[in-house]
Amino acid sequence: MNAVIQFLDTPDGAFGILADEEGRVLASGWTDDAAALVARLTPALRPASVEPGEVGAAAEAARAYYAGDVSAIDEVRVLQHGGAFHQLGWAALRTIPAGSPLSYQEFAAALGRPSAVRAAASACARNAPALFVPCHRVLRTDGSLGGFAWGTPVKQSLLARESRAATPTP
């Protein structure tokens, strides 16, 4: 498999999107380092080559997200490789509404395994197509940010942006 990478300028810094030939996002994050994105992939999804180019719908969705349409990322196609629980977790992350984050405990319960908090957190930690699979919408039980592969300042910025977008204007 070959991949294309595109970097966008965002208020949170450079945002890289790595996509396969079909336009599915393999990895994305707040970096201008292609190797950092490739490193997030499981060996089964590591491309034979990575060339600069246009990633199409994914770049358009990221731009729209930063322009205020936080739901623009919802339909972007992604491809991830992992076990059944991680696949379930990644699909569930895409159903968490913007502006309504869950705790890791609530996320585990939503997956039907309320005692599997660490496994639920692992699904977040191993999520390669950040933003498009919004793992930033999961917080610690006490409401604090917890970890984020791209740094907690980016996570806080994303959550604040989504909170503003979800709050009706009087």
**Annotated active-site positions, please?**
135
Q: Are 1 and 19 in contact (CB under 8 A)?
A: no
87 is written with which tokens?
């696949």
Q: Are 96 and 137 in contact (CB under 8 A)?
A: yes
State CA 52 to chain mean position distance. Answer: 21
Q: How far apart are CA 123 and CA 94, in angstroms?
A: 12
β-strand partners of 28? 17, 129
For residue 7, give the nearest of 38, 29, 25 by alpha carbon.
29
